[in-house]
Amino acid sequence: MILLREIQERDLDALERFAQIPGMFNLPGDRDVLRDKIIQSVTSFKDAKIPEKGEAGVLEGKYLFVAEDLQNGQVLGTSMIAGQHGTVESPHFYFEIGNEEKFSTTINTGFIHGTLKLKYDTNGPSEIGGLVIDPGIRNSEARVGRQISFARFLFLALNRGRFRQKILAELLPPLNRKGLSPLWEAIGRRFTNMDYWEADQLCAKDKEFIFSLFPSGKIYTTFLTAEARNAIGRVGKDTEPVLHMLKKIGFNYRNQVDPFDGGPHLWANVEELLPIQNLRRGTFSSKDAMTASDVKAQSGLLTKIKQNPGQFRAAAVSAVVSDGTIQWVGDQESLADLRSQLGVTDGDEVAFMPYY
């Protein structure tokens, strides 16, 4: 059984291991920074500041999830969702992709030039990101990547007051043979004289240097290398399944990319996301337990509605949903694991989110 849960301080070694994966931009290779991220997440789960309904305020929570293999205690993946990305103190920056037409009547010649324009948002959306999977199990039948990815949507659906109406996903671009971002090497390094990681870590503390050093006017992509141009708005091979899944459930690309690496920004209205629309609440039942061969069951994530403060527990299950009942489907050994880890018993109110 794979347990999906909130990150804990004991997961620091696992997070540091993920940070060592080549080309992994989601996690910094600094143990102290990673520890701070974990502490921030633990605090967010326990007592994130949430404005009252109709009250203005910043949604400060940042929630990290892990997928733990209960058989050996190994953490196989992690993901994140933030209450808000983009505030007055820490704006959300992006490049808006456009084009500009030029034509000369004298020589009867015209061109359409691609452009990048730096923009920012101080009242930003919620954000999902930080999806990292152990390379050794990416293609396993357990599909841990799907589980840890959907855990964020399950938490979002059950805690709407902690998040904005719009949500953003920033995806990783293709990297060059040296594991570097072609766009950063073409623009970021030239205007900051910093390595990507150095700038990324500074960005987490203070984004003033982006205002001060990045070009404020249009950047003509004609002047960039072909490698840098081809990376704009694209994703790396390992990220393609994530892109496909996000588009399938309701995310859309709006010609906005990360100003550091050129990875695409995908947007969605939370209420229009398929996992949110199709979340089902009901009473858990394991009576007259069935096997998958007996019925046409749905696959998805199950969680108990009432959990201990600061805690999140979910697991992948097969279930039949009807008449307000979430009928569990499976063998008795799996049921015992489910009861033990989620603390769910017959009659408990649970939520079930089917996969897409």
The greatest distance separating any two alpha carbons of the chain, rounded to the nearest whole angstrom, comes to: 83
Looking at residue 279, its pLDDT comes to: 97
Gap between the Cα atoms of 324 and 283, Å rounded? 6
What is the DSSP code string of 293-330?
TTS-PEEEEEEESS--TT--EEEEEEEEEETTEEEEES
Contact between 32 and 61 under an 8 Å Cβ cutoff? The reply is no
Looking at residue 290, its pLDDT comes to: 59
CATH class entry, domain 279-354: mainly beta
Looking at residue 287, its pLDDT comes to: 80
Looking at residue 252, its pLDDT comes to: 97
Q: Within 10 Å of residue 166's Cβ, how many Cβ atoms? A: 14
Q: Coil, helix or strand for 271? A: helix
* Ordered per-residue pLDDT tens for the chain, 356 residues: 899 999 999 999 999 999 888 766 678 878 998 999 999 999 999 987 676 665 667 888 999 999 999 989 999 999 999 999 999 999 999 999 999 999 999 999 999 999 999 999 999 999 999 999 998 887 788 899 999 999 999 999 999 999 999 999 999 888 888 878 999 999 999 999 999 888 988 888 899 999 999 999 999 999 999 999 999 999 988 889 999 999 999 999 999 999 999 999 999 999 999 999 999 999 999 886 555 555 678 999 999 999 988 999 999 999 999 889 999 998 888 899 999 999 999 999 999 999 98
Looking at residue 238, its pLDDT comes to: 83
Gap between the Cα atoms of 233 and 275, Å rounded? 25
Gap between the Cα atoms of 273 and 276, Å rounded? 5
Looking at residue 293, its pLDDT comes to: 53
Q: For residue 169, give both structure tokens.
A: 């996903």
Taking CA atoms, 264 is separated from 92, 137, 146, 231, 261, in Å, by: 14, 25, 20, 10, 9
Secondary structure letter of residue 290 according to DSSP: E
Gap between the Cα atoms of 134 and 24, Å rounded? 11
Domain ranges (residues) in the chain: 1-80+131-162, 86-123+165-277, 279-354
Determine whether domain 1-80+131-162 maps to CATH 1.10.10.10: no
Gap between the Cα atoms of 82 and 44, Å rounded? 10
Q: For residue 314, give both structure tokens.
A: 């979910």
């004609």: which residue's tokens? Answer: 222
Looking at residue 36, its pLDDT comes to: 94
pTM of structure: 0.91
Looking at residue 54, its pLDDT comes to: 56
